[in-house]
């Protein structure tokens, strides 16, 4: 497998991971909004908020890696 194919495969994997993270974020935010609407601001709600922030940071890290790999393809 050539270097270009390796980079493309990593790029595709990162895109799939980003899509999964966005899906998780949407589901989690939906559940948090439901809990907020029924005024259930308990430990589970705040844990969900922390996890949502963590997912956002993971998405940002994946986007940075995608940008890096895209530039790497341009160099090859």
Which pLDDT tens digit goes with each residue over 3-21? Answer: 888 989 999 999 999 999 9
The pLDDT tens digits of the residues spanning 19-53 come to 999 999 999 999 999 999 999 999 999 999 999 99
Whole-number percent of the chain with pLDDT over 70: 97
Give the number of domains in the chain: 1
% helix / strand / coil in the chain, to the nearest 5?
90, 0, 10
Cβ within 8 Å of residue 36, ≥6 positions away: 45
Contact 14, 69 (CB under 8 A): yes
Domain that holds residue 15: 3-75
């Amino acid at each position: 497998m050539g270097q270009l194919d390796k980079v493309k495969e990593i790029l595709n994997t990162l895109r799939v991971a980003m899509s999964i993270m966005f899906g998780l974020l949407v589901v989690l935010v939906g559940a948090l909004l439901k809990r907020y609407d029924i005024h259930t601001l308990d430990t589970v709600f705040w844990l969900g908020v922390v996890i949502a922030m963590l997912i956002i940071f993971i998405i940002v890290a994946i986007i940075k890696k995608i940008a890096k790999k895209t530039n790497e393809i341009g160099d090859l």
